[in-house]
Amino acid sequence: MNSIPSRRDLLKGGGALVVGFPLIPGRTLAQRAAATKPVAPTEVDSFLAIDARGEVTLYSGKVDIGTGLATAFRQVVAEELDVAFPKIGLVQGDTALTPDQGKTWGSLSIQVAGIQIRNAAATARAALLDEAAKRLDVKRENLKVADGVISSGAKRITYAQVIGGKNFSLKLDSAKPATPKDFKDHTVVGKSVPRVDIPDKMTGRFTYMQDFRLSGMLHGRVVRPPAIGAALETVDESSINDVAGVVKVVREGNFLGVVAESEWAAIKAAQRLKCTWSKWEGLPEQARLYEHVRATKVEKDEVTSNVGDTASAMAVDGVRKIAATYDFAIQTHGSIGPSCAVAMFKDGQLTSWSASQSTHDLRKQLAEMFTLPLEQVRCIYLEGSGCYGRNGHEDAASDAALLAKAVGKPVRVQWSRADEHGWDPKGPPTLVDLHASMDTNGTVTGWESEFLIPQQTAGSFMVPLTAATLAGLPAKPDIAPGNIFNNASIPYKFANIKTVCRRLEATPFRPSWIRSPGRMQNTYANECFMDELAAAANADPIEFRMKYLDPSDKRGLEVLTRLKTLAKWETRPSPQPPGGSVAKGRGMSYVKYELVRTYVAAVADVEIDSSSGLIHVTRIAMTHDCGQIINPDGVRNQIEGNILQAISRTLIEELKFDRSMVTSLDWASYPILTFLDIPEIEVDLINHPEAPPWGAGEPATAVIPSAISNAVFDATGVRLRSIPYTPDKVKAALRGGA
Amino acid sequence: MAQRKALNVNGRTVTVTVDDLDMPLLYVLRDNLALHGPRFGCGLGQCGACTVHIDGRAVRSCVTSLSQVAEQQKIVTLEGLGSPQRPHPVQKAFIEMQAAQCGYCINGMIMESAALLTVNKKPTDAEIRKALANNLCRCGTHVRIVAAVRRAAASA
């Protein structure tokens, strides 16, 4: 049985957080203890506490969603404070205790939150040294720190003696941050420190969200409509009279759920409960999805780059015009563990435990849903199954809260596999039209692209909570696919460029972000089209790209140069001469993520069996520069995961649906990559310890679809333009294009 | 109707009280015995996250009803295989290779691999991949998982 300490327990001195004797004179222990732990990102105390034993606790608003962040953040703190790594504890994603550092998304945790944490630790260290210098009566510059012990010659004082149990009461100045350690002095950052969570996970000792239990807790299950927009008509509660342990059938609007004493009773009751729903067929016909996308009203055009005059460039007599349209399927997050949450209403206070990547935002949404003041909602993160974006965790939290309120006891909701596949928000379909002009020398004179993608509600990224929507409770009607305009712009310096995101009024399924949202789809279209232009110019694909990169962008050029070596790249144009019945080819792709950060380049080697239409990726070679690397093995692990997940999304994954509902409701109808199709992976990690650290959780994903597509072209001379590259599509393309 | 059922789990005989012997073994292990190793992933026998050993064989506990398990059969879960202090060779290799991201699927990967190594002490990579072909990982940890199983086989 787990228990989460209340804020009051923590304030009383239990655990790592001890709030007491403030450095500010005149405030007593009692006054301080009655206050709350600061969570504003402008305070050192929001991030760090050092207790009387010298143990450090880091409070992080960003959470480890299986990426190794819990280890990397500890490394940053251990490094900056000079405290041994095992002495660093972590509290993450608790709205009562941790600062709001934004959602754990966008490959930003190290890049943004890591820097905030480093700044907090550097500020704390500076204050500790100032105080130590006074107490030891020595010059500050003569002080050394080793594992939390500050010394100068024989004089010594520990962090615990200086601060133990007290608040720092220090502001963080983001405009003028404390000077962090010189990277040359790093001994913990930059090392492959083993992940803190792995031993427990490998031996069944780890408590995932799905393992969390409260005493007196009941089990809930939801009964979702058979059609997305169906209305609940009748419920026959007597149909589950024979299920022992049922506590309540909860019906509110179109929300239907059951609560039972045991998990199995809840499952059986949800399966057997007889109910009728209205008919609803509001989804487009899947076979004509992209016609539907093209016919959707454009809410606004966002020009993401505009250089020169493309219209004039395209109108020049004698230029060669090249055009292509690429599409990318609707996909689901596919967490191996379906979403799960526990909620408790007590004394007017809602406490929600979930694997939300965004507890501070979930708190706002739950407060809105139940019309509660924000202060009366606390959301606590517990790690769940990997989510790769906004999956169903928050929705399960809304289900659990609704059921807990209805029965007046804590309720745990575990989604079924069909709930997860059917009801988690989806990555929207993407359709991209590209045009280019090329002069007789093979020089690109113009590049135009239009991305047909759903709009994003301005300034708000709240994916509506399913339970609120179904029950008719207050919820913002946001459309929140994420910042999917990113990577629409290109890194290549053509004379004339115009890239436009045509933001559509709606998209068939409730959208959200899935790993490398928009960046993956946009990079796919751009880098495949770039390959088309290279082929049209009869140029080597890497040389062709390097020709158009900004010559001052040395790091971009370096990933490409090193890729040639790593992949043993043969300089020549694509396609290569035809081979036997199994065609082999290589393709490459490049991205400078969002044009401002992590550089990635990759080569895919593929084999295509023309009789079966199967594409087998045999090797991925990748060069990757994410600036300063905190934990090299952690970065490699992320890169490997990006590559394999992206191969799966490129070759296999497509959400299926009829006019009413998702029909991909399990792993048979939504297959993903298996062990039988795993390529060899070679990664060249380029470390820049002198530079800022950038994200590694997403960027490697962005280059994989285009690298594979370009390899298929290299092998066959046939261009695939519709993701996923299923055997049927491959065979049809080979028949049509050979 | 509450019924008592005796089981041998991780070397101990336990008696559980359940309403329904059709209940999958997974829920007894997780809810009645508070074990965290076997995980709910699909309830359909498709993903492998719930895998346990029954008499040394890897079995999907989400589609194995309680009535199918006899009292004398030895059920072993990830917890019973080894501990952080005394890990099983496969667990040790997974830890050394850092063969996890979210780790949710890893119970199945370890249980399936440990069962494989009892019948095939030196599997080839192709045999490891085939043995794990019905275990799904979404994080993309496959390369490390195969390397970890190879390492465990080499260390035995």
A512 pLDDT higher than 50: yes
ipTM over 0.90: yes
**Contact between chains at A386 and B139 (C-beta distance less than 8 A):** yes
Same domain assignment for residues B52 and B111: no
Considering the domain architecture, whether residues B9 and B67 belong to the same structural domain is answered as yes
Residue type, A613: G
- Domain assignment present for residue A312? The answer is no
Residue A661: count other Cβ atoms within 10 Å of its Cβ. Answer: 19
Both A34 and A49 in one domain: the answer is yes
Instruction: Calculate helix-pair angle for A699-716, A727-737, nearest 10 degrees.
Output: 40
B44 touches chain A (CB under 8 A): yes
| Between A618 and A22, residue with greater pLDDT | A618
DSSP H helical ranges for B37-138: 78-81, 89-96, 106-119, 125-131
Verify whether the Cβ–Cβ distance A417 to B42 is below 8 Å: yes
**What percent of chain A shows pLDDT beyond 90?**
92
The torsion angles phi and psi of A195, rounded to 5 degrees, stand at -65, 140
Task: Assess whether B27 and B75 both reside in one domain.
Answer: yes
Tokens of A462: 């709240």
End residue of a domain, out of B80, B108, B130: B80
Query: For residue B142, what are the domain limits?
Result: 82-155
pLDDT of A291-303, one tens digit each?
A: 999 999 999 999 9
pLDDT in tens, A516-569: 999 999 999 999 999 999 999 999 999 999 999 999 999 999 999 999 999 999
Amino acid A621: pLDDT: 98
At residue B44 the predicted structure's pLDDT band, cuts being 50, 70 and 90, is: very high
Contact criterion met (CB < 8 Å) for B136 and A416: no
Of B36, B43, B140, the CB nearest to A644: B140
Q: Which of A66, A388, A414 sits opposite B40 (nearest CB)?
A: A414
A336 in contact with B, Cβ within 8 Å: yes
Q: Which band of pLDDT confidence, cut at 50, 70 and 90, is reported for residue A459?
A: confident
Tell me if A204 and B95 make a contact (CB, 8 A cut-off): no
Q: Which pLDDT does position A577 carry in this prediction? A: 81
Whether A430 contacts chain B with CB within 8 A: no
Nearest to A203 among B1, B24, B82 (CB): B82
CATH number of the CATH domain containing B35 = 3.10.20.30
**For helices B142-155 and A632-651, what crossing angle results, to 10°?**
120
Q: Is B111 on the interface with A (CB under 8 A)?
A: no
B51: closest CA of chain A, how far (Å): 12
Number of domains in chain A: 3
Strands of B11-71 (E only): list them: 12-18, 51-54, 57-60
pLDDT at A579: 67
Q: How confident is the model at residue A3 (pLDDT cuts 50, 70, 90)?
A: very low
User: What confidence score (pLDDT) does residue A8 get?
Assistant: 42
> Which A residues in the span 180-219 are in contact with B, Cβ-Cβ below 8 Å?
194-195, 197-208, 210-211, 213
The total number of structural domains in chain B stands at 2
Tell me the HSE value of A388 on the side-chain side, using a 13 A CA sphere.
Answer: 29
A67 contacts in B (CB within 8 Å)?
A: 101
Q: Which of A355, A340, A341 is nearest to A390 (CA)?
A: A355
CB A614 within 8 A of CB A730: yes
pLDDT (0 to 100) of residue A26 = 34
Instruction: Say if A294 falls within a structural domain.
Output: no
Which residues of chain B neighbour A414 with C-beta distances below 8 Å? 40
Rounded to 5 degrees, φ, ψ at A620 are -120, 125
The 3-state DSSP class for residue A134 equals helix
Answer yes or no: do B8 and B76 share one domain. Answer: yes
Kindly determine whether residue B133 and residue A263, on different chains, have CB atoms separated by under 8 Å: no
Mean pLDDT of chain B: 97
Mapped onto helix, strand or coil, the DSSP state of residue A12 is coil
- Nearest-CB residue to A244 (from B19, B42, B134): B19
Q: E-strand spans in A573-613?
A: 582-592, 599-609
Q: Answer whether A241 touches B (CB < 8 Å).
A: no
Assess whether B25 and B68 both reside in one domain.
yes
Q: Which residues pair with A248 in a beta bridge?
A: A259
* Residue A319 falls inside a structural domain: no
Whether A623 and A499 map to the same domain: the answer is yes
A465-A470-A472 Cα angle (round to 5): 95
Show which of A168, A193, A218 is a domain's final residue: A193
Please report, for the domain that includes residue B127, its CATH number: 1.10.150.120
Same-domain check for residues A527 and A671? yes
Is some CB atom of chain A closer than 8 A to the CB atom of B45?
no
Measuring CA to CA, which residue among A325, A255, A231, A309 is closest to residue A722? A325
Distance from C-alpha of A485 to C-alpha of A499, rounded to nearest angstrom: 10
pLDDT tens by residue, A105-133: 998 999 999 999 999 999 999 999 999 99
Phi, psi of A399 (to 5 degrees): -60, -50
Contact B138 A201 (CB under 8 A): no
Q: What residue numbers bound the domain in which A156 lies?
A: 7-193
Q: Are residues B100 and A201, on separate chains, in Cβ contact within 8 Å?
A: yes
Instruction: For residue range A298-339, list pLDDT tens digits in order.
Output: 999 999 999 999 999 999 999 999 999 999 999 999 999 999
Question: Does residue A316 fall inside a structural domain?
Answer: no
pLDDT digits (tens, 9 = 90+) for A179-231: 999 999 999 999 999 999 999 999 999 999 999 999 999 999 999 999 999 99
Q: Is the pLDDT of residue A5 over 60?
A: no
| Model confidence, pTM | 0.95
Q: With beta carbons less than 8 A apart as the criterion, state whether A586 and A711 touch.
A: yes
Least Cα distance to A210 among B112, B41, B139 occurs for B41
Q: Are residues B9 and B73 in the same domain?
A: yes
Instruction: Find the residue in A nearest to B127 (Cα).
Output: A676
Contact A667 B47 (CB under 8 A): yes
Name the pLDDT band for A429 (thresholds 50, 70, 90): very high
- Decide which of B47, B80, B113 is a domain's last residue: B80
* CATH number reported for the structural domain that contains residue A239 in this entry: 3.30.365.10
Q: Tell me if residue B78 falls in helix, strand or coil.
A: helix
CA dist A487 and A516 (Å) reads 10
Residues 6+ apart with CB under 8 A from A246: A240, A258, A259, A260, A261, A265, A266, A269
Closest alpha carbon within chain A to B36: A204
Contact state of A338 with B137 under an 8 Å Cβ cutoff: no
